[in-house]
Chains A and B, each alone.
Chain A
C-alpha cells in the first residue's frame, strides 16, 4: 500500500488522460474532471488530519534506484500535510474558477495538463523524504510553471516572463542540487529524516556552511526573495488562475517549505538565522515599498506576495534560535515565531488567492486591470468589492480578519529579536523598526488596491466593457476563500491545534509538546503589538490620503533604469553580446587559424609537460654508427624539405616531395626493410603522379600573400612544434624500459609457415589490421570515384559550364 505515493502519481496520470477526455467528450468542460481529481485528493488528505494531529507520521517507500540510495520515499507529517492541503484545496478552487475564467476557445487540454503536472510535482516536493526525489519534483514545478506562464505563447511578454522565471528558478535549483549532494557527502544519507538525527555531528564539517547557503539559494530563488524576486512580477503574464494558484498560494511557498523542512538540519547555526531573517526582512520591506508604485493590479499583488513571503521567511529565521539553545522557558517565544509563520502562510494563501481571483474578475469583466482606468465599481460589482475588502484588510492586518492575528504574532516574534545578544544592540533594534515601516507600506498598498479600484469616479469611457457583476461560477472560489479568511479569525485554535501544532513537531523534533502549541486569541491585551498595529493604521491612513503628494518621490529615489529588473535585462544582453564578441574573435572560419590553435595547444601542453617533468634526457652513445652515405642522404633530405618552403613553382614542390619520399625508401633499404622500400617506392611514384594530375587541374601557384606577421607566427609555431617533437622522440628512445616483443615473431616459420617475418605479421599474426587497411583503401577508391563522377544536384550548373 503506497497510498501517499499514489496521491503524487494520480495527478500525473490524470494529466495524461486530460487530452483524451478533451478530445472525446465535447459536452462537458474538461476542467470538471480536473476538479474531481483535486477534490478527491483533498478529501483523502483531510482524512489524515485526526491521526496527524495525534502525533502520527506516515512513511512509505517505493524503490526506484536502490543501488544509489535514491528511492521514492514519501513522508507524511504535519508540515507536509499543511502544504498538501493547500495545494489540493486551492487547486480545486482554482480549477472551478478557471472553468469560468478561460474561454472555450483557449487550448484547455494544454492548460489542465500543465496544471495537473504542477499539482503532482508540488505534492511530490512536499511529501518527498529523499533529497534527490525532492529535487526531481522541484524542477518539475519549475518546468510546469514555465509552461503555464507562457500559456499565451503568442505574446512576447509571456515568453519573456516565462524565460526569466525559468532562468532564475532553475539556477537556484542547480545550486540546491549541489547543496544536496554536499549534504549527502557529509551525512552519507539521502533521507531528510535520517539527516536530522545525525546532523549534530557535522556542524564543523567544511561543507556544512556551503551546503546550507546553496540550499538557501534554491529556496530564495523559488520563493522570490530579495534580490531574486524579479521573476515574480513578470510571471504575472500568466492567466490569472495560474497567478492565483502558483504565484501566490503554492509554488512560491515551496521555498518556505524547504527552509522550514531544513530548519532542524541547519537551524542551530547562527549563519542560518542571520541569512534567513535578514533576507526575509529585506524582502518584506522591498516588496511592500515597490507594491505602492505599481499601476497594474496584478503587479501590485505580485509585489505584495513578495513582501508577505519575506515576512514568513523572516519568522522562520527567527524561530531557528530555539534550536540553537535547546529547551528552556525563554525559548518558547522563538518557537512561536514558526507557529506564526505557518499560520500566516495559511492565511496568506486564503486571502491572496481570493485577491488574485478578484483581479481576474475585474480584468475579465472590464478588459483592464490598470488602476488609473478603474474606479467606482463598488456599487456595480458589490460581491467582488466585498471579497476584495475582506482580502485586502486581512492583508493589511486589520480585525476581524485572519491577517490581523498573524500580523500581531509577527510583531511579537520580531520584537523578540531584541532580546537576542549576538552582536551590538543597535543592529538588532533596527529589525523591528524596518518590519514596522514595511507594515505601514503594506497598509498603504492594501488601501490602494481597494479604494482606487472600487471607489472614486466610474470611468466608463476608459473601459472595454461596461462594468457588471461576474457570473456566480467565477465568484464561488473567492467567496469560499473569503469565508475562510473570516472563519480563521474567529476559530484560529481549531486550525492551530489540529494542523499547525503537528507541523511544529516537524520543525522542532527535539522539543517537547509543551513548548509548541499556542493559544491564539484575537484580544491579547493592550500590549506593544497592538500599539504598533494602531500606529500602522494611523500612519498608513495618513500616507494613503497624501499619496499623490509623495508618490513622485519613487521616480526620484529609484528610477526604472536602476531597478533589479533592468540589471537583469542588461546583464543578459551584455552576456550575449560579450560571448558573441569572444566567439567571433577566435572562430574566424579560416583553417589556418584553427590549426594554429591546435599547434599552440600542443606546444603549451606537451612542451609544458616536458619542461615540468624534465624528461628531455638523452644519450647518443649507445646507438649504431652513421656512414658517410647516410649523412649525405639525410642532408639532402633536409635541404629538399626546407627548399619546399621557398620554391616559386608548385611543380618543384611536388618533385621535392617525391625526393623526400624516395629518400625515405633509401632509408628503408639501409634499415633492412625490403618490403617497405618496395612499397614506398611504388606508392611514392603513384602519389607523385596523382599530385601532378591534380596540379594539371589546379590553378597556378600564387605567391603566399599573407601578412608578414602571420608568416612569422607560422614560422615560430612550426619550429617550436618540430623542436618539441624531436625532443620527445629523443627522450623516448633513451628510455627503453623493457625488451621488444618482436623476437616472438621470429618464430614465423614454426607458427605460420613463413620465412618473411614482416609478411607473416601482416597476413597472419596481425591480419586484422591488414583487412581493415584494405577496407580503407576500398573506401578511398569509392570516394575518389564519387568525387569525380557525381555531379551536384539537378538543375545545378557546374562552374565550368558557365
Chain B
C-alpha cells in the first residue's frame, strides 16, 4: 500500500511541476494545490505503517493504533496550505484587476509605478 501511495504522490508531483511551469496564474495556483495534496499523502505514508492499527482514539478494545504524529502534522499543514492558497488566489485576482491580464509572461515588464 505504501508503495502505491508513494507512486501516486510521484504522479501528483509531476503534474504539479508541469502546472507550476505554465503561463497562466490560475494553473500555477492549481499546481501548488496539487503539490500540497502530494505532500500530505507522502507524510501519511511515511508514518509507522499504514492500516497497521486502529483509529488513534483510545478505546479499551484496541491493541494497537496507527501512527498519530503524522496525522497531527498533516492537520497543521492542511490549514497552512489552505491559508496560502487563499492568499495566492486573492493576490492573483487583485493583480488581474490592476494589470488586466492573468498571463505571467505579460506581467513581466509592467511597471509598479
Contacts and interface: CB of A to CB of B under 8 A. Distances in A.
Nearest to A670: B51
Interface in B18-70: 18-30, 33-34, 37, 40-42, 44-59, 65-69
Contacts of A714: 18, 21-22
Nearest to A589: B108
Interface in A186-226: none
Nearest to A802: B100
Nearest to B51: A624
A653 B59 CA distance: 42
A657 B38 CA distance: 12
Contacts, number: 281
Contacts of A623: 1-3, 49-50
A758 interface: yes
Given A589-B109, A740-B67, A667 B27 contact: no
A668 interface: yes
B61 to A, nearest CB: 13
B91 A675 contact: no
B80 A717 contact: no
A800 interface: yes
Interface of chain A, main secondary structure: helix
A325 to B, nearest CB: 71
Contact of A626 (B4, B45, B68): B4
Residue from A653, A687, A693 having most chain B Cβ neighbours under 10 A: A687
Interface residues of B, number: 89
Contacts of B15: 641-642, 644-645, 718, 722
Contacts of A715: 18
A762 interface: yes
A758 B80 CA distance: 17
A420 interface: no
Contacts of B75: 675-676, 679, 758, 762
Interface of chain B, main secondary structure: helix
Contacts of A729: 6, 9-10, 42, 45-46
A724 B94 CA distance: 36
Contacts of A800: 97
A473 interface: no
Given A660-B34, A673-B66, A780-B84, A698 B104 contact: no
Given A590-B108, A674-B55, A687-B33, A742 B69 contact: yes
17 contacts: A620-B3, A634-B5, A644-B19, A654-B30, A657-B34, A672-B66, A687-B85, A687-B86, A691-B26, A704-B24, A705-B23, A719-B14, A740-B47, A749-B58, A761-B69, A776-B79, A796-B113
Interface of A: 588-592, 595-596, 599, 618, 620, 623-626, 630-631, 634, 637-638, 641-642, 644-645, 650, 653-654, 657, 660-661, 664, 667-668, 670-676, 679-680, 683, 686-687, 690-691, 693-695, 697-699, 701-702, 704-706, 714-715, 717-719, 721-723, 725-726, 729-730, 732-733, 740-742, 745-746, 748-749, 754-758, 761-762, 766, 769-770, 773, 776-777, 779-781, 783-784, 787-788, 792, 796, 798-800
Give the 6 A-B CB pairs with smallest separation, nearest first: A722-B14, A726-B10, A780-B83, A718-B17, A761-B72, A718-B18
